[in-house]
Amino acid sequence: MIWYYLSKGEVKIPDPKKYILVCTYLTLTELAFTPNNFKKLEQVQDAVRQILNSEPKLKLLHPFDHARTLVDKNLQPEFDIESDLVFGFLRVLINHSKDGLINNKFKDQLLDISTKRKENGGDWATFLNNLNEPSKEISRVLKKYHSEEWQTLKFKEWFVFQLNQLNDTFYTSDIINWNDFEFYEGVYKRYHRNLLISKMKADINDDNDLKNMIYVQPTNLYWTSEKRWKTIAKEANLEKYLYLE
């Protein structure tokens, strides 16, 4: 996470005359429930303080809620910081002693959430790896016949399905401006293609990293220190979206 590197001074804050930093709800969720809170609390606190001091633009919606607001300009989901679970945990963490969490109900609740998130991420990665493993034996055939058109069709079907989950409004592919999701779509498709035809394996954090890209629109740049995502973005011919220090 780039906020860790910023808090340590390992990377420089971009020129504020040219760039405005953005912090997403998914990033805040990661900081609130990361296992680092149990062994590297001070580092998490420093990252949160870096966000507060940087005064970035905040995108305080879940990734697919954010996507819905792009599809439906009249949609304005309410967000109450005071009652939000993520902000509640962050408030306690930032004001806690940097020496480490004490044994109490808060720590127990944090451990429960953190453990469940880790298990879900692990289950997701294991499922994808098991699903794609047989295909690696015929990767040469798949490389030849795995068409961009088919992959785009499947992505759009999946994306529309996600938009319609737990939602009263029914969205269809034809009302979506797909240019708004060019970066996410391109990286998502290339990522899954690599899982299918290369030796690459899904990692426990990949799902959240991918969803964080939903917030990246054509006027934005994506800043990451992870080689995996830089490489995939370049393979997908989306290098123009990368912020390069």
pLDDT of residue 150: 83
Residue with tokens 């295909």: 135
As beta bridge partners, residue 96 has none
3-state DSSP of the chain: CHHHHHHHCCCCCCCCCCCCCEEEHHHHHHHHHCHHHHCCHHHHHHHHHHHHHHCCEEECCCHHHHHHHHHCCCCCCCCCHHHCHHHHHHHHHHCCCCCCCCCCHHHHHHHHHHHHHHHHHHHHHHHHHHHHHHHHHHHHHHHHHCCHHHHHHHHHHHHHHHHCCCCCCCCCHHHCCHHHHHHHHHHHHHHHHHHHHCCCCCCCCHHHHHHHHHHCCCCCCECCCCHHHHHHHHHCCCHHHECCC
Nearby residues of 181 by Cβ (< 8 Å), 6 or more positions away:
67, 70, 159, 214, 217
Give the pLDDT of residue 129: 92
pLDDT at 142: 67
CA-based R_g, the chain, Å: 19
Structure tokens at 83: 């009652």
* Those residues with Cβ within 8 angstroms of residue 93's Cβ, 6 or more apart along the chain or in another chain: 32, 37, 41, 44, 45, 48
Q: Which amino acid is at 82?
A: E
Residue 136, pLDDT score: 66
Which residues, given as ranges, of the chain have pLDDT below 70? 136-146
This prediction has a pTM of 0.92
